[in-house]
Amino acid sequence: MLIPVKWLNDYVDVKNIDIKELEDRLIMTGSNTETVTKITEKIEKIVVGKIKSIDKHPDADKLLIMQADVGEEENIQIVTGAKNCSVNDFVPVVRAGGKIADGTKIKKGKLRGEVSLGMFCSFEELGYDVKVIPKEYNDGIYILNGEYTPGEDIKTAIKELDDNIIEFEITPNRADCLSLIGMARETAATFERELVYPKIEINKEILDVNDFISVSIEDEKKCNRYVARVVKNVKIEPSPDWLKVKLMNAGMRPTNNIVDITNYVMLEYGQPIHAFDIDTLKDKKIVVRDAKIDESITTLDGKERTLDKEMLVIADGEKAVAIAGIMGGENTEISNSTKNILIEVAHFEKSNIRETSRKLGLRSEASSRFEKGISSKYCNTVVDRVCQLIEELSCGEIVKGSVDINPIKSNSVKIDARVKRINDLIGINLSAEEMLKIFEKLEFVAKINGDTIEVEIPQFRLDIESEIDLVEEIARMYGYDNIPLTLPKGSEWGAKTNGQNIEDIAKDILVAQGMNEITTYSFVSPKSLDLIRIQSESILRNQVTIINPLGEEYSVMRTSLVPNLLDIISRNYNRKVNDLRAFEIGNLFFTRVNDKNELPIEKKSMVIGTYGENEDFYTIKGMTEVLLNNLGIKNFDFVVEKNHPTYHPGRCANIIWGNHILGTIGEVHPEVLDNFNVDCKVYLAEIDFNIIMQITRLDVIYKPIPKYPSTSRDIALIVKDEVTNAQIIKIINENAGKLLEAVKLFDVYKGKQIEEGYKSMAYSLTFRSSEKTLVDEEVNVIYNKILDKLKEFGANLR
């Protein structure tokens, strides 16, 4: 929220407060600021000039020679390309030696042979951003509206130009501060000064409003108040300079006097206002209703928008003329031909405004305020203020009375605040009387009742709901910088859980293998599972749907980490990153099949991915083995999986531990890679980290160095091609007993001596006893037992 300080001064006297002190004190009472700027700070020697004559340049068709009165005995000559000015116009003139906003110094010079002693200024040259400059001045100089004294400093002539502008960071709960009066109220309370509200008086009214318009509300849940007034014989013209500059300083583009007045009062009170050309309303009716299915409206930005039945519209007797609380329709827009207007000030339900704005992808100054919550109490005050300014600027005749549907009866919220409780929570020692004074500064009605203060909450403070909110009010108005510093006290030290420690260790193991940790959003697109070829009946399809998503791409909670990792891999691959190793540990979310109203099931998962010239299936397998072994997980196997839709058939395996599937490793299916626009092989491992945390064994048992020597046996086996190393080692381990110390595959051979469809696998077996030196007879018994079991399996000695 941009707050021009001179505009703020209209409601609370801050003239003698240094801008730095003003900013610092407001920060310490809870009004955080972003920046303080002074738009025209760098301009020098810019004065009001009056154009006395305009002649064509003799040697340049696009240039004009103008004589301007700048308060001196003689007029000065300026050569310019500006086409939007006329004789007797007042314009800003920077004299030779002066500076414009970007720091450029203007010098006396010649343009195509003609002397130029200065330059006429546009709004940009005064320091304003093009987005707030009135459209008629986008490509021309600034024509002052009214009578001025030639030679007067432009900052004196239009005092609003010389202003400090504070940008406040308004939190969503403080919608009351999205207004000049709201911030004036905070300033008055902070500096203990009087808050002066605008004095609203309308001197002359004609006819009766009921002769011009009727209003009805069909959906009172979405609109619980609608106030309308009528103005006749309006004169649409540019706003006076003070109004234009105030709006521009507050970040709004001036349009015309009527629209500018509604925007001015919206910024003043924080209440959105809309004006309709009443002569375009069919049957002179206003109907607040739900939109019809597929009803469309062309909004003020020129775009046609299709509505649904959950959206609220303002309609006349025939059609929708505005999207309630968001934007008006093009068909009732205020134009230069408008003669009679209806001024709307209403109260709309915030969640409906927020949802409609999100669906349409349309946000406005009005919707940003309505969606945070606005009190409905001040609708009459605001509409009267608009009428007052229209009368003051002589741009219309005010029709007597207003149409007020559902006038609000005061239902004050009352909360008891315990003095001791407040002091204990903040760590201060204020008396009840001192707290009462703070509440009254904030315009709360309060009285002391023993050790309690009874507080009546004003209707503009919709954020105050309980005692703890009042504690915050006392703390911030006392001053955060005045609260004494204390160290937190406690008898116990915090520590990580066992699961968190295991997660940290797992991350260290993977990083040690050259992995990079990634973190991705839990919100994903419903189409993400299609990209990895998940079947419709898969449990991964039990996705949690988000009620109020940011968009289609973030509308469900993830049930797999794989799409997110593949998206990261795709982004790196297509940016010419030649190789990548990455992993993520994160939560998955599943709906409960029996009761979808219950909270979803959360499950922790891990995904590891790699691609590159030297990466293959055994790279990912080796990384997984290192991870599991270092977590103390033993006796796991890799079993071929041929039907996993995400992985290449035959190049995928499940990780088996006892009766549990710990996860899956494999080469990603080519169709999946095509979906992610990746042309190289990618290898992934998905691991159920919930099981990992349960079976991890981090205790280390040390054994003494063996006293007795080992003995070894080699064995070469002829087996079918489909037999795996894991199957052979499993048989050996199951039948070797305690004396087998190690088994290692040292050779695999296929050649002329080996029958087609078979291979030779050679192993080295190491035996050792911790109690004695083994003799051949003892080792042979074990060796023969292993050999017998291998023969039963179908293996033969080579």
Annotated binding site for Mg(2+): 463, 469, 472-473
User: Measured between alpha carbons, how far apart are the two ends of the chain, in Å?
Assistant: 85
Indicate the annotated binding residues.
Answer: 463, 469, 472-473
Q: Which residues contact 415 (CB under 8 A, 6 or more apart)?
A: 455, 457, 464, 466, 467, 469, 470
Residue listed under structure tokens 């110094």: 105
Which sign, positive or negative, has the C-alpha torsion 630, 632, 636, 640? negative
Dist. CA 793–CA 729, nearest whole Å: 12
Instruction: Give Cα separations from 81 to 55, 78, 210, 284, 503 (angstroms).
Output: 12, 10, 52, 48, 69
* Residue among 351, 330, 223 nearest 287 (CA): 223
Which sign, positive or negative, has the C-alpha torsion 363, 364, 369, 370? negative
3-state secondary structure of 145: coil
Helix axes 467-478, 432-441, angle to 10 degrees: 90
Dist. CA 241–CA 161, nearest whole Å: 10
Q: Which residues pair with 286 in a beta bridge?
A: 215
Kindly report the backbone phi and psi dihedral angles of residue 531, in degrees, each rounded to the nearest multiple of 5, phi listed first: -65, -30
Host H or E run for residue 484: none
Dist. CA 363–CA 325, nearest whole Å: 10
Q: Which residues contact 763 (CB under 8 A, 6 or more apart)?
A: 714, 715, 716, 717, 728, 729, 732, 743, 744, 745, 746
CB atoms within 10 A of CB 130: 11
Which sign, positive or negative, has the C-alpha torsion 127, 130, 132, 137? positive
Host H or E run for residue 67: strand 60-69
Copy the structure tokens of residue 715.
């064995």
Kindly report the backbone phi and psi dihedral angles of residue 105, in degrees, each rounded to the nearest multiple of 5, phi listed first: -90, 130
CA 61-66-72 angle, 5° bins = 160
CB atoms within 10 A of CB 169: 11
Dist. CA 119–CA 106, nearest whole Å: 7
Helix axes 180-191, 19-28, angle to 10 degrees: 90
Provide the pairing of β-strand 516-517 with 523-524: unpaired
> In a 10 Å sphere around its CB, with 0-12 CB exposed, 13-18 middle and 19+ buried, how is residue 128 labelled?
buried
Query: What b/e readout covers 699-722, taking b as 16+ CB neighbours within 10 angstroms?
Result: eeeeeeeeeeeebebebebbbeee
